[in-house]
Amino acid sequence: MNNNKKFNAVITGIGMYVPEKVLTNQDFVDIYGLETSDEWITSRTGIKERRILEHGATSDLAAGAAKDLLAHSKVKAEEIDCIIVATVTPDMMFPATACIVQHKIGATNAWGFDLEAACSGFLFALQTGASIVESGRYKKVLVIGADKMSTIVDYTDRNNCILFGDAASAVLLEPGDDLEYGIVDSVLKVDGSGSPYLHMKAGGSLNPPSIETVTNKMHYLYQEGKTVFKYAVTGMADISVEIMERNNLKADDITYLIPHQANLRIIDATAERMGLTREKVTINIDRYGNTTAATIPMCMCEYYRAGKIKKGDNLILSAFGAGYTWGATYVKWSID
Ligand code: UT7
């Protein structure tokens, strides 16, 4: 926590975009011929269906979320100062997806960049955006979590393909005078010793694309699920408790835990360690699966629009993902 701040970054707008096409658990059996079942997927993960973007790229998801935010806001695209896109599925290696989004939404006065922290991407981008706002130099920062996971998932691999979906969600950060509101505190961590267990082997400078990398399926997401599960349960729970303790928050003070939606069992374990009942946890994994950088803002958007998140509510955002990366952020909601 920085007690010398003059103002906080507060969330003043929110939006989301999910593609129309639904892929159900049964579709993995009927369309992809996998040996799996709705019963296995539901009981092991909590996922019933996910969305797939059939045509277009991550920037289309991100621009869709940004346009939805702007449609619900008085702010105009040309007023945006900076765009941060958290993603592991950029449109291409370069330019940054943020540049493509800037052009697609007409944010003619913005600069921007991509940030890659996998499933923790939104939390890392939110803290980065908050720091930019708190610097006093920029007033309107658009933070987007967007991933088209269907482009890096191997639909012959039942261990992983059932987990992921495509989506994007965005928040607008602006300065707020009341230091109690906004992005109050963040605890963020990385530990690169976790990289062997969740990564994409090829496409970067280590293993540039070649016939061999394609033949060996090295452009797909690789995950040792059991190992990641173990670290995720401990990592997300520990860091969520840490942010509660250092902000003197008891379970009763928290309106919602907004966890990354990777597996309902990880979410339940985190809530239990925090002393929270299911009613105090935002869940939409059943409808969207794991959309990587998009899960947390999308949950926040749906619960806010349903009238369940109100001004003054204490929200704990929490994530764990590839890297390893993990973190928790304390937000005091500031929109009426
Ligand atoms: O978001 C980034 C962070 N990622 C995560 O947090 C994901 C963490 N991992 C997980 O969520 C879970 O480990 C999985 C959902 C991926 C797997 O659940 P699990 O309870 O750890 O299952 P498992 O890997 O131990 O597999 C149990 C069995 C295996 O069969 P054998 O070896 O025991 O005969 C798997 O082959 O279930 C089998 N299996 C499946 N069976 C039916 C794996 N995937 C499937 C499937 N349908 N889709």
Residue 226 has which token pair? 């059991």
Active site residue 72: no
Active site residue 260: yes
Closest CA to 335 of 3, 51, 75, 23: 75
Residue 274 has which token pair? 């925090």
Answer yes or no: is the C-beta of 158 below 6 A from any ligand 1 atom.
yes
Q: Which of 37, 42, 44, 154 to mutate to test the pocket of ligand 1 (most atoms within 8 A of CB)?
A: 44
Active site residue 55: no
- For the chain, percent of residues with pLDDT exceeding 70: 99
The whole model's pTM is what? 0.96
pLDDT in tens, 232-269: 999 999 999 999 999 999 999 999 999 999 999 999 99
What CATH class does 8-180 carry? alpha beta
Q: What residue's CA is closest to ligand 1, atom 23?
A: 226
Cα dihedral 284→176→134→138 (10° resolution):
90
Per the omega criterion (within 30 degrees of 0), is the bond before 95 cis? yes
Residue with tokens 């003619």: 108
Ligand 1 centroid vs 184 CA: distance in angstroms?
36
Give the per-residue pLDDT at 2.
55
Return mean pLDDT, the chain.
96
Q: What residue's CA is closest to ligand 1, atom 36?
A: 159
pLDDT in tens, 285-328: 999 999 999 999 999 999 999 999 999 999 999 999 999 999 99
> Which ligand 1 atom sits nearest the alpha carbon of residue 292?
1
Comparing 8-180 with 183-332, is the CATH topology the same? yes
> Which ligand 1 atom sits nearest the alpha carbon of residue 232?
6
The full set of domain ranges for the chain reads 8-180, 183-332
Answer yes or no: is the C-beta of 290 below 6 A from any ligand 1 atom.
yes
CATH no. of 183-332: 3.40.47.10
Q: What residue's CA is closest to ligand 1, atom 11?
A: 263
pLDDT in tens, 59-93: 999 999 999 999 999 999 999 999 999 999 999 99
Q: What residue's CA is closest to ligand 1, atom 8?
A: 229
Give the per-residue pLDDT at 3.
60
Q: How far apart are CA 193 and CA 206, in angstroms?
A: 17
Q: How far apart are CA 312 and CA 298, in angstroms?
A: 19
pLDDT in tens, 85-129: 999 999 999 999 999 999 999 999 999 999 999 999 999 999 999
Q: Which of 160, 161, 290, 299 is catalytic?
A: 290
Please tell me the least confidently modeled range out of 5-9, 23-27, 186-190. 5-9
Q: Which of 28, 120, 226, 285 to mutate to test the pocket of ligand 1 (most atoms within 8 A of CB)?
A: 226
Q: Which of 25, 82, 99, 119 is catalytic?
A: 119
Q: Is 319 helix (H, G, I), strand (E, B) or coil?
A: strand
Tell whether the model's pLDDT for residue 7 goes beyond 90.
no
